[in-house]
Amino acid sequence: MKNSGENFSGQKKGRILSYDFMKSVAVAGVIVGHSLALAAGMAPELAVLERYGTALMRPVVPIFIFLAGALYKPRQSMRETGLRLLRLVTPYLFFAAVFTLIYVLTGVKFGTVGYILRVLTGEIHPVYYYVFLMAEYTVLLFVLERIFGYERMTIPLFATMAVLSILHGNYSKEIFERIGLRESMTLFCTYRSPFLWGIFYAAGIVLGQYPNLRAKAREYKIWLRSIFAGLSLFYIVMVYFAIGDLDGLNSVITTLICFSAILCLLTIRVRSKGWLFLSRRSYTIYLAHVPFYYLMEQIWKGQEHMPAIIIILTNLAVMGGGAAAVCALGKAIFKNHSFYVIGS
């Protein structure tokens, strides 16, 4: 499949197939990771699978953040910025409604104000906090461009993103505890989450504006793949032998793996229509698989004697297939591009 006029600023000349491929790999990784986590809860001897699932999911959000930055289109008008926010918010609110229905049917008690805060901040589920960050970054970029101009925005961009990352990492836990949101939001805002998200987004914007980046990556592809393989092997050994925790050195290694993986994937030519179908809807699938995760969690209760491989494969089929079906439904309902990935 040919990509006509490939560019790195998210413009409509053509799809950036390498970036599409990365998004599809990322969303596949989080679904596999959640499948392993579900299987881990079935029996004590399977508990190690949760560590593997966590290790697999760890790089996913940084990759999404980086790609959202790389697909950023500079010099956007207020209308274009509004449309970008719409592409973020429409599918998110769709799944917030799904969660509301689940909560009502299961008798979960929540106050109106508290639930509105959960929806507006992404606390409805940890992975949804990503939407809150992207909406914040979208507005921030619009303001920074108007103040500094795009050509002089790099240093203010990195400085602002660094400050935001520190604030999200160190102070948001206390803030959200004070207003009563102490569960998934506080977990997702502490040092346990990758605190370099803002830097990833800024790096994606900067690198996304270099059209010859792909050619340079191909020139050094042997070195890049060697670095990626070495870091990945080291990470696997750390996880397998439970060296340290998932907060300190592992965060640094994960960050390096993400960047090396991104550069490696730039060297790959992607022609599979299946991968492109998945990647064009990766943002929505990323959101949509979560209700199916909770569904499978309920189904497997009391099924402790089920073989682990059956549990894992069933989880993959239900979460992946169900999320794809919801994407098709959402696209049919809204009849616009809101159910495509950010930057499409």
Query: Which pLDDT value is given to residue 188?
Result: 44
pLDDT score recorded for residue 189: 44
Q: Which amino acid is at 155?
A: I
C-beta separation of 34 from 323 below 8 A: no
In 3D space, the residue among 316, 259, 252, 254 whose CA is nearest the CA of residue 289 turns out to be 316
> Tokens for 236?
């696997």
Write out the two tokens for 115. 């639930």
- Distance (Å) of CA 136 to CA 198, 304, 341: 11, 43, 17
Q: Write the DSSP assignment of 102-146 as a string of letters.
A: HHHHTT----HHHHHHHHHHTTTSGGGHHHHHHHHHHHHHHHHHH
d(CA 20, CA 282): 9
The tens digit of pLDDT for each residue in 185-224 reads 444 444 344 456 677 777 777 776 666 666 666 677 677 7
* Cα dihedral across residues 147, 148, 150, 156: positive or negative: negative
Domain boundaries, the chain: 17-339
- Among 133, 152, 155, 150, smallest CA distance to 65 is for 133
Sorted by sequence, the CB contacts under 8 Å of residue 85 that are 6+ apart come out as 135, 138, 139
Looking at residue 106, what is its pLDDT? 62
Which of 67, 87, 16 is closest to 205 using CA atoms? Answer: 67
CA angle 141, 147, 148 (to 5 degrees): 85
CA dihedral angle for residue 117, residue 30, residue 316, residue 118, rounded to 10 degrees: 0
Total number of residues shown for the chain: 344
DSSP 61-98: HHHHHHHHHHT--SS--HHHHHHHHHHHHHHHHHHHHH
pLDDT of residue 276: 65
Place of tokens 């973020």: 88
Predicted local confidence at residue 229, as pLDDT: 72
pLDDT of residue 186: 42
Q: Which two tokens stand for residue 35?
A: 């499948």
The answer to whether 122 and 129 are in contact (CB under 8 A) is yes
Chain-centre distance for alpha carbon 161: 18
pTM score of the predicted model: 0.68
Local mean pLDDT, 10-residue blocks, the chain (344 residues): 35 52 75 83 73 73 73 72 73 71 62 58 61 74 78 73 63 54 45 56 72 66 72 68 54 63 63 65 76 79 76 86 78 58 39
Handedness of CA 237, 241, 246, 250 (dihedral sign): negative
